[in-house]
Amino acid sequence: MTGLEEAFALGTPTQAAVAAAPRVASLALLARVEGGAGVLDQVARSPPPQRSGAAGAAVALCGVVCLAAVGKVARRRRSKVAAAAGTPGDKLSLFSPAKVNLFLRIIRRREDGYHDLASLFHTVSFGDTLDLEVLPEEAAKDELQCNLPGVPVDDSNLVIRALNLFRKMSGEKNYFRINLQKSIPAQAGMGGGSSNAATAFYGANALCGRPASAEELIKWADDPVIGSDATFFLSEGTAYCTGRGEIVTPVSPLSVPADLPVFLVKPRMGLSTPRVFKALDLSMLSKVEPEVLLKTFQEKGADHEAWVNDLEQPAFDVEPDLGRLKVFLEKDGGFGFRSVLMSGSGSTIYALGEPKGGAEAFEKATRAGFDIEGIWRCGLVRRSGSEAWYSFPEVKS
C-alpha cells in the first residue's frame, strides 16, 4: 500500500475517488507527510495541471484527507510514500562540502590491509555543487557530467557507485542525470569524492520519496565501494569517526566562534592515501588517547594545543616541501594562526584564525614561497538537522 492509499484508508474516501484522482501527492505534500519540507522545497517541479469536475473534486478531497492523516502517516515507514515521488524531471541542487580532520589518530594496521583510526571530522563551507535530475522511466543508466576534464564519468566515479548502491539497497529503479561542478581538488585530504558520493546518496533518496530514514542512509552507505568517509558526510557535520572511518558517532556543535576563519592551503602536489600509509611508521604514532583528544575539543573548542594528525610525518617524509609549508604557516611566516594542521592524508594544510597582516598579505607571501594550487577562506559548518542538507555558503559581495 502506498502512502497515498494509506491516507485514504484512514479516512472515508472510496477507492473510486482514488482512481479518479491523478497523481496528486506532490513533493510539497510529501514534505508535510514526512516532516521534511526544508529538504524537499529544493525540488523544482512544474505545477500540476488544472482539472475540473469529478476529477478536480477528487484531487481536492485527496489533498484534504492526506493532510488530515499526516499525524499517522508520518510515523509509518517512509518507503510507503516512495511511489508518489521520483517523477521524471524532478530536480535537486545540493552543496557537497569538503571536510577537515580536527585530529586524526591511527590506532593499528588491520589484517585486511586497512587501518583503524579515530578522528574528529568537521565539514567546512568550501565544496562542490551537485545537480540531480530524475531521468525518464526508459533510462537504463545514469548520465554524469563534470566541469573538470579527466574526471571519470563512468561506473568508476564514486557518484555513480553511490547511485548504484542506493538502487541496490532501496529497490528503487530511477536513474539520474548528474551535473557535478568540482571545486575540491583531488588528493587533498578533504574528502571530495566521498562527499560527492554521500550527496548523491542523499539526493537520490530525497527525489525518490525518502525510502530510507537518515539513520538508514548511514547504514546503507557503510560500503567501501563509495569511500570510507561517505558515512561521515551523512552525519550532521561534526562526528567522531572510528574503524576505517565508517563508524560515525555524532558530536554536538563545538564551542567555536561562528565566524572563525578556516584557510585551506592546497599545494600543487597531491598525495595519494596509499602512498602516505605505506610510509607510516607505527612506532612513531602519538601516544595521546583519542578519547582524551575528543574531550578536549568538546570542552575547549579550538582554544588548546591538542592538534594531532598521525599522518603528517609520513606525508612530510613523502613530500618534504609539504612539511616546510606547514612550518611556514605555523611559525616562519609570522601569521599567528590559532592552529595549523594537515587534513587527512594531505596535501591540504588548514589554518584557523585571522592572519596577522591580513589575508591578502598572507596569500601573497605563501604563493611567493611555494607552488600553490589554491587558498580558500571558509568556515566550519553543519547541517541544521538530520533531514535538511548542508546549505550553500553565502556569496559575499
Instruction: Please report the pLDDT score of residue 252 as a whole number.
Output: 97
Q: What is this structure's pTM? A: 0.79
104, pLDDT greater than 90? yes
DSSP annotation of 103: E
Instruction: Please report the pLDDT score of residue 391 as a whole number.
Output: 97
B/e letters for 230-262, b = 16+ CB within 10 Å, e = fewer, are bbbbbbbbbbbbbbbbbbbeebeebebeeeebb
Does residue 163 or residue 56 have the better pLDDT?
Answer: 163
- When pLDDT is cut at 50, 70 and 90, the band that residue 357 belongs to is very high
Task: Give pLDDT tens digits for 1-52.
Answer: 433 333 333 333 333 333 333 333 333 333 333 333 333 334 333 344 444 4
Among candidate residues 43, 131, 148, 138, the one with its CA nearest the CA of residue 94: 131
Task: Give pLDDT tens digits for 150-186.
Answer: 999 999 999 999 999 999 999 999 999 999 999 999 9
Q: Cell triple for residue 226?
A: 563509495
Task: Give pLDDT tens digits for 246-290.
Answer: 899 999 999 999 999 999 999 999 999 999 999 999 999 999 999
Instruction: Please report the pLDDT score of residue 85 as a whole number.
Output: 63
Q: Average the pLDDT over 199-227 and give the result.
A: 95
Phi, psi dihedral angles at 273 (to 5 degrees): -60, -45
142, pLDDT greater than 80? yes
Q: Which residue has the cell 612550518?
A: 327
Q: Average the pLDDT over 64-83 and give the result.
A: 39
Secondary structure class of 163 (helix, strand, coil): helix
Phi, psi dihedral angles at 108 (to 5 degrees): -165, 165
**Residue 75 and residue 34 in contact, taking contact as beta carbons nearer than 8 Å:** no
How far is 164 from 390, CA to CA, in rounded Å?
A: 23
What integer best gives the mean pLDDT of the chain?
84
Angle between helices 53-68 and 27-34 (to 10 degrees): 20
**Residue 109 and residue 282 in contact, taking contact as beta carbons nearer than 8 Å:** yes
CB within 8 A of 98, min separation 6: which ones? 123, 124, 126, 127, 184, 188, 190, 191, 192, 195, 264, 378
Instruction: Please report the pLDDT score of residue 49 as a whole number.
Output: 46
Instruction: Please report the pLDDT score of residue 343 as a whole number.
Output: 98
- Residue 137, classified by CB atoms within 10 Å of its CB into exposed (0-12), middle (13-18) or buried (19+), is exposed
How far is 125 from 103, CA to CA, in rounded Å?
A: 19
How far is 397 from 1, CA to CA, in rounded Å?
A: 51
What's the one-letter identity of residue 199?
A: T
Q: How far is CA 145 from CA 29, 130, 194, 353, 372, in A?
A: 31, 10, 17, 36, 27
**Residue 81 and residue 34 in contact, taking contact as beta carbons nearer than 8 Å:** yes
Q: Average the pLDDT over 208-218 and give the result.
A: 95
Secondary structure class of 9 (helix, strand, coil): helix
CB within 8 A of 330, min separation 6: which ones? 337, 340, 351
Q: What is the 3-state secondary structure (H, E, C) of 106-135?
A: EEEECCCCCEEEEEEEEEEEEEEEEEEEEC
How far is 314 from 318, CA to CA, in rounded Å?
A: 6
Lowest mean pLDDT among 77-81, 86-90, 257-261, 391-395: 77-81
322, pLDDT greater than 80? yes
Q: What is the DSSP string of 25-43?
A: --HHHHHHHHT-HHHHTT-
Over pLDDT 70: what percentage of the chain?
78
